Amino acid sequence: MKPKKRLFSLRKYNKKIWIANILLIATYILMQTPGHLWLMSISQGAQAKPFNGAMMPMAFVPDWRKSDYIDRRGVLDYAAVNQNDLIPLPRIEDIKNDFNSNFTYLTMFRGKYMDEERLVWAGSHDGVDIRAPIGTPVFNIANGKVVKVKDDPDNKYITVEHRDVKYAGQVGKYYSSYLHLSAVLVQPGDIIDKGTLIGRVGMTGMTTTPHLHIQVDNEESPFYPYWPFTGPEASEAGLNMYSAVDAGLNQDLILKYSVDPLDFIKKATTIDGPSVAANRIETPVTKDTTVTQTTTTIPVVKKQETPKTVTKQVTNTPSKTSTSTNTTKTTPKPISGVFSDVNSSASYYTWVTYFAKRGIISGYPDGTFKPEKNVTRGELLAITFKALGIENHGEIISGTFRDISKESWLTPIISEALKRKIISADKSTFSPDRPVTRVEFLAILGLASGEQISDQVTKSWKDISWTHWSHKYAEFALKNALIDNISGDTFRPNQSITRGELAQALYRYLSLKNRL
């Protein structure tokens, strides 16, 4: 009996050895697997939302002419920039005649370093370099899947795959890469939407100043992010990595494997649809400084200036009435676009800051924005009209609704909405303080913008009837990625929309229409 027991133990021991050997062999094989095969395995998993256009990877940079930002450009931190000094990312098209554009865009696609004329085909730089302070938020340019991440202390970058994209007459996969980061906020396999915060600008990798290197490669590229030459190739030509770029070494390979990232953002489309427009930041909107703080807890629509006391709102249109008679309570001046509950890492940061800096939305007297608070019907009309640039025309209609007085701040807005047939007068009340549902918001946005929304629908949801009036607006939101998490079998049409969601949806819509 004892020998048998020893034999059994020996077999069990041998079995463990075989398992260990198999694991070692498997590990060795995996270690020898080329990087692009690893990328393929990640790429073949869960898929991202369909491509629906692209947007710029950053929203704001400093007005470099202010303060001492130029002198501190090598060490400047985004958190140290006065929020009132931030401007929308300049257009690269203005590089010849706008100082901030010229200072922000360091190196062009197929350009060379330190080129004052910013010429294309002057060198072999793959991608575009965008100067920005360390820590500037970096956003994913289009729906996609993270397929590669490097997060070493001295080298941080991200590569995202975008499928089923039509660009320059070609349909296929494209890969956007974001280099020189100071922080990586995603990992391989993550499914991310357009506009997702994925990292922050830094100085890692081969660089001499803080900036984002953005590039887009096609699916024929042998690796991502692609680069047209190696260090040994540059040495053989008697060049270093920088002089090789300026000399245009292997410039033809860029044309073969890469595309101009900013042109891609502007012109890439879905396979079977027209371009959903470039998500470029246009020229800044003129700031409005004609409003003082109101006592009401409902946020004013225009930008706050320098209120001394809490008083009735003063504008060139009828002001909103207040139930408070206190006119002596001091309210500190809030900084436009800065809210204690929306920091730079918050999901709504970019959208809320963008609209707040333009006076389209504002916060509360306590310095908060309350992104999770529901939007009311009155707020929705006012904010949407302001965002779309809709102004009052002609005689103001009053007395339509018994809960809206002639002196109400909403009267001119409601009057314009009635004249444009955005709202109807089939009820005796407007209910300005009632929360707005998702479909109500989408209907108001569609009607106010003049969007031609097709009555033909193809997507089904369990909670929306095919014949219900709201179905086309739900599909409109899905196709344009205005609202998150609606691609499944439920839409939740009667769910109230929050202030953060409203800012996100309006920003995405204006981006798609190139109206930022």
What is the full per-residue pLDDT of the chain (516 aa) written as tens digits? 444 444 444 455 455 555 555 554 554 444 444 444 445 555 566 788 899 899 999 988 999 999 899 999 999 998 888 867 888 899 999 998 999 999 999 999 988 887 777 777 688 899 999 999 999 989 899 999 999 999 999 999 999 999 999 999 989 999 999 999 999 989 999 999 888 889 999 999 989 999 999 999 999 999 999 999 998 999 999 999 889 998 989 999 999 999 999 999 999 998 875 543 333 333 223 223 222 222 222 233 333 333 333 333 333 333 333 333 333 333 344 455 578 998 877 778 888 988 998 899 989 999 999 999 999 999 999 999 999 999 988 888 889 999 999 999 999 999 999 999 999 998 999 999 999 999 999 999 999 999 888 887 878 899 999 889 999 999 888 877 788 878 788 999 999 999 999 999 998 888 777 687
Q: Which single residue is written with the structure tokens 């369990």?
A: 462
The β-bridge partners of 213 are 129, 179
65 neighbors 99 (Cβ within 8 angstroms):
yes
Pairing state of beta strands 105-107 and 128-131? antiparallel
**């869960």: which residue's tokens?**
46
What's the pLDDT at 166? 95
- Residue 54: CB atoms within 10 A of its CB come to 33
Cα–Cα distance, 129 to 209 (Å, whole number): 10
- The residue type found at 446 is G
Domains recognised in the chain with CATH numbers: 60-267 (2.70.70.10), 285-436+496-516 (no CATH)
Q: pTM of the full predicted structure?
A: 0.58
DSSP 3-state assignment of 402? coil
Cβ pair 271, 331 in contact under 8 A: no
C-alpha pair distances (Å), 239 with each of 123, 231, 246, 247:
13, 9, 10, 9
Q: How many CB atoms neighbour CB 398 within 10 A?
A: 16
Query: What would you report as the CA-atom Rg of the chain, rounded to the nearest whole angstrom?
Result: 27
Angle at Cα 238 formed by Cα 236 and Cα 239, nearest 5°? 105
